[in-house]
Structure 1
Amino acid sequence: MDSSRTIGGQSPDVDGFNTTDGDALATQQWKSRDFSHSENLDLHLECVRQEPDNIDNIDKASYFDLFEWNSPIDSKKKLTLFPKWHLPLKVAAALTLFIFIYTFIREVLHPYVMRSRNEFYRIPVLVVNKVLPVVSITLLSLVYLPGILAAVLQLYRGTKYQRFPRWLDTWMLRRKQFGLLSFFFGVMHALYSLSYPMRRSYRYRLLNWAFQQVKENKENAWIEHDVWRMEIYVCLGILSLAILAVLAVVSIPTIASSLSWREFIFIQSKMGYIALFLCTAHAFVFAWDKWVDVNQFIWYTPPSFMLAVILPVIALVCKAILLLPCLNKRVQKIRCGWESKQENGNKRVMYHF
């Protein structure tokens, strides 16, 4: 929810992919205007086009084509490519680069330096597939953290009629883009995971495992807890990706406009947190007992799945705290227009001066 809706609206905060765009609102308001004298449309358009330098003609005209009319002022403005995606793409690129270098050092460089093993073949698939889920779940956390910060700020101020800081306002307006990027990285992670059996290196490794089993005279290589771990975390991954797909589809303006406000809140907020919880559980089950395995801490660095769950756990814990009745009721009252006594006192003092 952007700051304009926070200040003037009575609706609760929606922490999801789809945030109302100011440009879209302006366009919708323009289209909803009741224009009179529509039969003189061609005449008004011709009047504006004949004297484009006189901006006052726009006010005299009942209607002008928003897409065909070229303002001399707007023509001087430099058009930017996907301006709303600049910040999310920069954050996603920085995260991807950092996690890739981190994983490369652990998975490729360490075996080469310590044991002279050539593991560079792991870069195109295995290393990349360890980067994708970390970036995906981190970006998903960035969708819901600004809503939590906004709620905390409103609790602290005791009112909703104060603007958020510029950085928080910008962050909240980019939640949709963060969510779509999270879904993109999640889909890529699923596709990379499905490609594992098709890799030649995987087939060779299966043959080596089979030969090792015959050499050790083992008739059954079944490991119960490992089987359960795989089944559970694959199930959680599929469920979380399915919910993310629903959130991504609902973020399409035509789909969002067909939903009621209550339906929109439920999908983007409630289902969004369910998706974040399932993704976090997916990471925890994948780790299983590796949390206490000393061998996982290569060169004294924690494994990547530990880095992946930091922000999601913070977001989920903070959301759980805000759902406590003593805090949740106060937040809802503030968002419905209620103000604390201290804030009312401050307003009286300012009015007196």
Structure 2
Amino acid sequence: MADGHLYDLHVSSKEETWEQQRWKNVDCGGELNQDCQAEPEQDNQEQSSHFDVSVWNSTSVRNGRKAELFPEWHLPLTVASVLALIVFVYTVAREVLQPFFMNNKNEFYRIPVLVVNKVLPVISIILLSLAYMPGIFAAFFQLYRGTKYQRFPAWLNTWMLRRKQFGLLCFFFAVMHALFSLSYPMRRSYRYKLLNWAYQQVKQQKENAWVEHDVWRMEIYVCLGILALAILSILAIASIPSVSNLLSWREFQFIQSKLGYTALLLSTLHALVFAWNKWVDVNQFIWNTPPTFMISVLLPIIVLLCKAILLLPCLDKRIQNIRSGCEPTKGTQNKCVHL
């Protein structure tokens, strides 16, 4: 889910598609031709499907290659799993272990919902940043080289080919975050705390517990989150092959690039508004460690700033010329090759 107008990404994607089609559409020739002639033609679709699978498997073994399970998802799932584990341990240490060791307070009930729901948005926004960061690197590489006809480094090319998976995993974690947030009022612990808050208000003889800035914070925070999730839903739907095939290249580029960066911006604002005035609250730095919302916005802010720099007219015009086939020459003019 990111910029789709990069030359190497297009070529590599085509090569992978052709390779997969070559495996699937194995021609009955050579040694396999005898088996094909021995089997009479049958209209039974079930037997035909079984034959196709057996041919595919035998060909994979012949070529010394074993059919992998979701190979395109290995890198994104590994990154997401490692990030989730690190953030989960970090959050448990701050939210659960610190009160237990320092104040002898049992907060372990927070792990299933509250702690997990603090991990989900962090992973979601980081994965969304990772989906658009390779496009930033690719643009800087093209600016430095002055051409689009040089291949990117292998690590960048692999990263670019996995942007769709990073984006879909981001959408998955975002949906989970929304569901966990909606479940807050259903928790028994929340009901007990609500009764305690009401009792404290009565005890302090407060007729109205309204806090203006906190109300505005919550309203804006929820609104930005809903808008970001809605745009991510559009991006996820547009990533479905049956849908993307119906879109023109310009439409697909607009959805995946323009709307994608809009979703990243809204998600970042969502986290910043959630923080509100907590940035200067020393109580948030438990065990001298920053809260998770501070960590989560670092990478998105870097990506957005880099994108803003690339949108400067001087750089944007040069990138467009490079991607249209113009290459600098020794003279003052550019040599343009339109394909």
TM-score range, shorter chain: 0.7 to 0.9
1:220 equivalent among 172, 187, 208: 208
Paired residue secondary structure (2:217):
helix
Aligned partners of 2:57 and 2:67 also within 8 Å: no
From 24, 46, 50, the counterpart of 2:17: 24
Match of 1:35 in 2: none
Change (3 A) 1:5 1:286: closer
Cα displacement (A) at 1:9: 7.0
Q: Aligned partners of 2:324, 2:182: CA distance in 1, in Å?
A: 47
The amino acid that maps onto 1:239 is: L
Counterpart CA distance in 2 for 1:325 and 1:343 is 23
The Cα shift of 1:228 comes to 0.4
Seen in structure 2, the aligned counterparts of structure 1 residues 319 and 204 have a Cα distance that, compared at 3 Å, is same
Q: State how 1:139-218 maps to structure 2 within 5 Å.
A: 139-218=127-206
Change (3 A) 1:159 1:288: same
Aligned to 1:75: 61
Any idea what the Cα deviations from partners look like across 1:113-151, whole Å, max 9, x if unmatched?
111100000000000000000000000000000000000
Pairing 1:254-293 to 2, within 5 Å after superposition: 254-293=242-281
Structure 1 residues 52 and 23, CA, compared in 2 at 3 Å: closer, same or farther? farther
CA contact (8 A) 1:133 1:186 kept: yes
What's 2:97 paired with?
109
The percent identity for this pair of structures is: 64
After TM superposition, list the pairs within 5 Å mapping 1:326-341 onto structure 2. Answer: 326-341=314-329
CA deviation map 1:38-85 (0-9, x unaligned) = xxxxxx8588743479xxxxxxxxxxx994644854234212111110
Q: Gapped runs of 5+ residues in structure 2?
A: 37-48, 333-339
Give the SS at the match of 2:98. Answer: helix
Q: Does 1:308 align with 2:296?
A: yes
RMSD: 2.9
Query: Residues 163 and 220 from structure 1, CA distance in 2 versus in 1: closer, same or farther, beyond 3 angstroms?
Result: same
Displacement after TM superposition at 1:171 (Å): 0.3
Secondary structure of 2:208's aligned partner: coil
CA, structure 1 residues 89+295, in 2 after alignment: closer, same or farther (shift >3 Å)? Answer: same
SS of alignment partner, residue 288 of structure 2:
coil
How far apart are 1:208 and its partner, in Å?
A: 0.3
When residues 72 and 188 of structure 1 are mapped into structure 2, their CA distance, relative to the original with a 3 A threshold, is closer
After superposition, the Cα gap between the structure-2 partners of 1:7 and 1:109, relative to the gap in structure 1 and judged at 3 Å, is closer
| 1:99 partnered with 2:82 | no
**Structure 1 residues 105, 342: CA separation in 2 closer, same or farther (over 3 Å shift)?**
farther
Structure 1 residue 27: Cα displacement: 6.6
Whether contact under 8 Å (1:88, 1:178) holds in the other structure is: yes
Unaligned runs of 5+ in 1: 11-18, 32-43, 54-64, 345-353
- 1:290-343: CA deviation from partner (whole Å, max 9, x where unpaired): 001011011110000000001100000000000000000000111111112369
Distance 1:130 1:86 in 2: 25
Match of 2:223 among 232, 235, 241: 235
Which structure would you say has the larger RCO, counting Cα contacts within 8 Å and 6 or more residues apart?
1
What amino acid maps onto 1:50 in structure 2? N
Give the TM-score normalised by the residue count of structure 1. Answer: 0.82
SS of the counterpart of 2:326?
coil
Alpha-carbon contact 1:2-1:173 (below 8 Å) kept: no
| Cα distance in 1, alignment partners of residues 140 and 73 from structure 2 | 26
Write the distance in 2 (CA, Å) between the matches of 1:166 and 1:4. Answer: 18
- Cα distance in 2 for partners of 1:142, 1:86 equals 15
CA pair 326-29 structure 1, distance change in 2 beyond 3 A: farther
SS of residue in 2 equivalent to 1:339 = strand
Match among 39, 44, 50 for residue 33 of structure 2: 50
1:133 paired residue number? 121
- Structure 1 residues 192 and 48: alpha-carbon distance in aligned structure 2, compared to 1, 3 A threshold: same
Q: Partner of 1:40 in structure 2? A: none
Alignment length (residue pairs): 313
**2:23·2:56 contact (CA, 8 Å) conserved in 1?**
no
Q: Deviations over 1:280-299 (max 9, x none)?
A: 00000000000010110111
* Cα deviation, residue 4, structure 1: 11
Identify the residue that residue 336 of structure 2 maps to in structure 1.
none
The answer to whether 1:244 aligns with 2:244 is no
